[in-house]
Amino acid sequence: MLLNKSLTNKIWQEKQIDNNIVEKLSQKKSISQIFAKLLLSRGIDEENIDEFLNPDITAQIPNPFVLKDMKKGVDRCLIALKNKEKIGIIADYDVDGSTSASILFKFLNNYTSNIVYKIPNRLSEGYGPNLRLMEEMKQEKVKLLFTLDCGTSAFNTIDHEDYKNLEVIVIDHHLSEYKLPKVHSVINPNRYDEDNNNYKDFAAVGVTFLFLMALRKEIRNLKLYPNVKEPNLLSYLDLVAVGTICDIVNIKNYNRSLVKKGLELVIKRHNKSIASIIDNSNITYTPSSRDIGYIVGPQINAASRIDDSSLASKLLISNDINEIGTVSKKLFLINEKRKLIENKVFHEALDQIEKQKNNKFFILYKNSWHHGVLGIVASKIVSIYNKPTFVISFNNNKGVGSGRSIDQVDIGSIVLELKNNNLIEEGGGHKMAVGIKLNINKVDSLKKYLNNKFAIYNNSIFEKILSYDLQLSVNQINSELLNIIEQMEPYGKGNEEPQFLIKDIMVEKIKVLKNKHILIFFKNDLGSNLRGISFNCIDTQLGDYISKHNLYKFDFLCSIKRDNFSNNDLPQIQIIDAKVIN
């Protein structure tokens, strides 16, 4: 069933599940029909419901040795430990790379202190290993180098002939080309010749965790360190959960088990670094996967966007409580600065859209926009307009840009075409996200090429469709529903938070919060008080209509969460979109 467009110019569509199947699961498992439909719409049936609701990493232990080069890499690491060789780590600067570096460093540190780690500078050097870092590793007499969340495509860098005495183990999850760098080991479930499909959704921190499982097993079997207390790998799962959530990989199967157990450790404040970020963020309630993804993750990422790329790894590796406090506070302040920079660039980019509003894509550019926020701004614009977007910053006629896309348009392939046609100097990425470099004199040719390219796409693919799980009555917003929703956590890609349609709501009063958000108050048919919130809606059409609530009734598309900011612990709606009922 398609409905007319909403206040955010989107179409709402209910997920269709056969009522007979819903009723059958409901009866078979003695659960409500609401619960049954929510499960079925996520591909959960009576065969896998128990595993979904009660994931247990100890009950389905993965076998790391099925991955190519795993045994080879573990054996080489054991040689390094036995011979007291210096071990190096180069990790990506994002949350996945930083958590990967943290768990590998912490594990190896039980057996050796001869470890050095280095992080590339995001703004001046970009992603992945580079010759500067390789040269530093060589000068510091590193014999075995790990590259984490990077390295799969680092041709002529990690396998450069100047560093042939430096053996490299790549632990990564990015899609490979039909070739691999000529190094000791490439442990990557997404390398082109990997047969095993069970680990393809792992983030790099998940693959690193598999490596540690394999390494610990060999150390145990060979009885190599009888006087060293064996590390408890489960104690690293809070870091694994944070990296997995923030890299937006599918939270299914093994990943779901890892994240569920890891969040339990986060809640217990096991890792002091993560606990410190949570405290700085004033999260006084039980943190969820959403809090990790939207509050904790951006602070870990912020340093590389506008400051020192190594701060995130420094925080997550440290065991010094004073250092953790100092670095986490610095990350919090850097992230606040990042928000201001991002907001300025975002609004300047929005100002350019009016002239391009009939296009099927946007090219937005200006001199001296901060490189560290271009990708976030592009993502925000895509989420509003549902059109592929390039955001480019020029300095001295040289441009650096980020592109983001929608499911139906493979922006990665388009960028390869742009490069092959000499319209950009450099470019790469994947289907949904790319980075480019170009000269300002190519902008008009680039626009012309993309206009022709996008002419083949039907306008209908740029319609933004919001899929919701089911329609509820206002009386069904209760603690029973909240318990169902919380049983299905953790949420993330592949297990998105349930969304509901609630019709004919009469808002009694509102309260504006921080000049950004609107809190609404309404009642159910029994006279019970309920609340809802619409985030960042001031100065939007949605916010304008809610502000005139006494003139209208509303249909709300929303999620339902526990109200963590009042003392009643009741469900509240979180408004995603609305339609006005005159």
> Does 365 reside within a domain?
yes
| 386 and 364 together in one domain | yes
| 562 and 529 together in one domain | yes
**Contact, 405 vs 431, CB < 8 A?**
yes
| 234 and 306 together in one domain | yes
- Evaluate the CA torsion angle 251, 254, 257, 258 in order and state its sign: negative
Q: Is 337 exposed, middle or buried (0-12, 13-18, 19+ CB in 10 A)?
A: middle
| 282 and 375 together in one domain | no
Convert the pLDDT of each residue in 250-292 to its tens digit. Answer: 999 999 999 999 999 999 999 999 999 999 999 999 999 999 9
Domain boundary among 462, 481, 496: 462
> Does 262 reside within a domain?
yes
| 122 and 163 together in one domain | yes
> Does 1 reside within a domain?
no
**Contact, 454 vs 361, CB < 8 A?**
yes
Partner residues linked to 555 by β-bridges: 579
Domain boundary among 444, 462, 480: 462
> Does 406 reside within a domain?
yes
| 150 and 283 together in one domain | yes
> Does 335 reside within a domain?
no
The CATH code of the domain that includes 172 is: 3.90.1640.30
Convert the pLDDT of each residue in 455-501 to its tens digit. Answer: 999 999 999 999 999 999 999 999 999 999 999 999 999 999 999 99
**What's the number of domains the chain is made of?**
3
| 110 and 232 together in one domain | yes
Convert the pLDDT of each residue in 385-408 to its tens digit. Answer: 999 999 999 999 999 999 999 989
| 119 and 244 together in one domain | yes
| 156 and 277 together in one domain | yes
> Does 52 reside within a domain?
no
| 436 and 577 together in one domain | no
| 159 and 262 together in one domain | yes
Question: What dihedral angle (degrees, nearest 10) is formed by the CA atoms of 286, 290, 292, 295?
Answer: -100
Domain that holds residue 369: 357-462
| 500 and 444 together in one domain | no
> Does 53 reside within a domain?
no
- Distance (Å, rounded) from C-alpha 157 to C-alpha 135? 10
Dump the DSSP string for 167-181. Answer: EEEEE--SPP-SS--
At 353, phi and psi to the nearest 5? Answer: -70, -30
Give the N- to C-terminal CA distance of the chain in Å, as an integer: 21
With a CB cutoff of 8 Å and minimum separation 6, the contacts of 308 are none
- For 510, the enclosing helix (H) or strand (E) is strand 509-513
User: How are strands ordered across the β-sheet holding 167-171?
Assistant: 115-118, 87-91, 144-148, 167-171, 185-187
Instruction: Say yes or no to pLDDT of 3 above 60.
Output: no
Convert the pLDDT of each residue in 333-383 to its tens digit. Answer: 999 999 999 999 999 999 999 999 999 999 999 999 999 999 999 999 999
Convert the pLDDT of each residue in 217-248 to its tens digit. Answer: 999 999 999 999 999 999 999 999 999 999 98
| Per-residue pLDDT, 567 | 65
Instruction: Say yes or no to pLDDT of 216 above 90.
Output: yes
Establish how many alpha carbons lie within 13 A of residue 134's alpha carbon, considering only the half-sphere containing its beta carbon. Answer: 22
Tell me the residue type at 219.
I
Domain boundary among 397, 431, 462: 462
> Does 480 reside within a domain?
yes
